[in-house]
Amino acid sequence: MPEAGRPHPTSDAAPSRQRKGPDLHSDTLIAAPIDPSFGTTKGEGLKAWRKWLEACIKFDASDLIVKTGQSPRLRLRGELKGMQVDDLTVDLMFQVAKDVLDENQFEYFRNRGSIDFAYDYDDRCRFRVNLFMTRGKPAIAARLITSNIMKFEDLYLPEILGDVSLAAQGLILFSGVTGSGKSTSIASMLQFVNERKRVHIVTIEDPIEYIFNDDKATINQREIGIDCLNFNDALRALVRENPDVVLVGEMRDYETFEAAIRAAETGHLVFGTIHASSAWQTFGRIYDLFPENERDQLRKLLAYNLRAIIYQKLLKTLHKDIARIPALEILLNTPAVQKYILEAREGELLQIIKQSHEEGMVDFTTSLVRLVEQEYIHQDVALAATPKPEELKMRLKGIS
């Protein structure tokens, strides 16, 4: 495991492999680089930082939010709660940045005003961290990630995802907003493959979140800024790395998605995430990444290579021992779905999902109804989560 307390995600890294970040082009720098003279005594920032993380672990918080001029906040069961400490000074916040980041990372943060990294608190807990500037002062958002990769049943995910995970090739997309548990679910699916198939898995992440140990599979994890310069370079190198399974991480631009769908087309099983508000609406988000004259070809590639789209949203539960539970929408690429994609009828796919529950698909409204019926969530939570409140109210009639 990495040395506890260093913002470094790999287990065998040497100082020469510290995060450098992408090249600092002048047109991407912030207007006024951060003054490095800010700060307090060396080590004071690290002491405060580890105290906040310790509280996050102790209270089983999902997130830590730290802002200059306020006390740190912990997200407990989806709600932010303030810690009982003094409001944070700007000097202390800058000292945290200096103590936690290495020299290259701090220089990147100074010039860009934001940096992502993973931080190992100890060999059990690590954090995915974004350090950023807001109104000229530092702020931090950190998410707790335990070293334990949970199984489907522990995450309340359906067994059909196991079948999807074992596909020989194709594209598997998780959609949803930030903080919806997409990375955790994908890690569970990759571990499912790891325990069952002798394949080569390559992940491209920014930063690495879960550390995998080889079981039947051989797994290589690459982090942007440490193992490769950027996503595009890493994707271009994939062909020479001979993977069977690939995790691309977030697909936020044309280049990344185009490389991912081509990898799926050439026989790889590709996992990725994308921001969208439902499984069937994910298609619109994908098409928006591509120029108009390429969308017909993209539609054909998706029709023949897509395996599944899983939309996920985490909801507060009624149980003290279950902080949050996923409500899901699952689209599987059956012959009927493939036909609708080829005919540019993606807007009608919700009806296919609703008619295909026996095949393992589920629409978001039905997922919410099941969670209410099984007394995992309150009706009010379900109604707040749905984009179709009237439909849900009709479905919930008679449920006390």
Q: How far apart are CA 289 and CA 291, in angstroms?
A: 7
* pLDDT at residue 146, rounded to an integer: 74
Q: Do domains 15-146 and 152-362 have the same CATH topology?
A: no
| Mean pLDDT in residue range 66-83 | 92
Phi, psi of 272 (to 5 degrees): -160, 170
Question: What angle in degrees, to the nearest 10, is found between the helix axes of 364-373 and 389-396?
Answer: 40
* pLDDT at residue 224, rounded to an integer: 86
Q: Greater confidence, 26 or 240? A: 240
Show me where the domains of the chain are located: 15-146, 152-362
Per-residue pLDDT tens over the stretch 361-370: 999 999 999 9
Per-residue pLDDT tens over the stretch 97-145: 999 999 989 999 999 999 999 898 987 788 999 999 999 999 999 999 8
Taking the domain 152-362, which CATH number applies? 3.40.50.300
HEC string of the chain equals: CCCCCCCCCCCCCCHHHCCCCCCCCHHHCCCCCCCCCCCCCCCHHHHHHHHHHHHHHHCCCCEEEEECCCCCEEEECCEEEECCCCCCCHHHHHHHHHHHCCHHHHHHHHHHCEEEEEEECCCCEEEEEEEEEECCEEEEEEEEEECCCCCHHHHCCCCHHHHHHCCCCEEEEEECCCCCCHHHHHHHHHHHHHCCCCCEEEEEECCCCCCCCCCCCEEEEEEECCCECCHHHHHHHHHHHCCCEEEEEECCCHHHHHHHHHHHHCCCEEEEEECCCCCCCHHHHHHHCCCHHHHHHHHHHHHHHEEEEEEEEEEECCCCCCCEEEEEEEEECCHHHHHHHHCCCHHHHHHHHHCCHHHCCECHHHHHHHHHHCCCCCHHHHHHHCCCHHHHHHHHCCCC
Per-residue pLDDT tens over the stretch 345-383: 999 999 999 999 999 999 999 999 999 999 999 999 999
Phi/psi-derived region of residue 193, left when phi > 0, alpha when psi is between -120 and 50, beta in every other case: alpha
Q: Greater confidence, 296 or 25? A: 296
Q: 148, 150, 144: which is closest to 58 by C-alpha?
A: 144
Rounded alpha-carbon distances, angstroms, from residue 71 to 93, 115, 170, 252:
11, 22, 46, 33
Amino acid at 309: I
Q: How far apart are CA 348 and CA 281, in angstroms?
A: 10
* pLDDT at residue 399, rounded to an integer: 66
Q: Greater confidence, 224 or 291? A: 291
Rounded alpha-carbon distances, angstroms, from residue 95 to 68, 113, 122, 335:
12, 15, 21, 57
Domain 15-146 coded CATH 3.30.450.90: yes
Q: How far is CA 340 from the centre of its chain?
A: 29
Per-residue pLDDT tens over the stretch 160-209: 999 999 999 999 999 999 889 999 999 999 999 999 999 999 999 988 88
Q: Which residues contact 98 (CB under 8 A, 6 or more apart)?
A: 39, 42, 45, 106
Q: How far apart are CA 251 and CA 46, in angstroms?
A: 33
Q: Is the pLDDT of residue 50 over 70?
A: yes
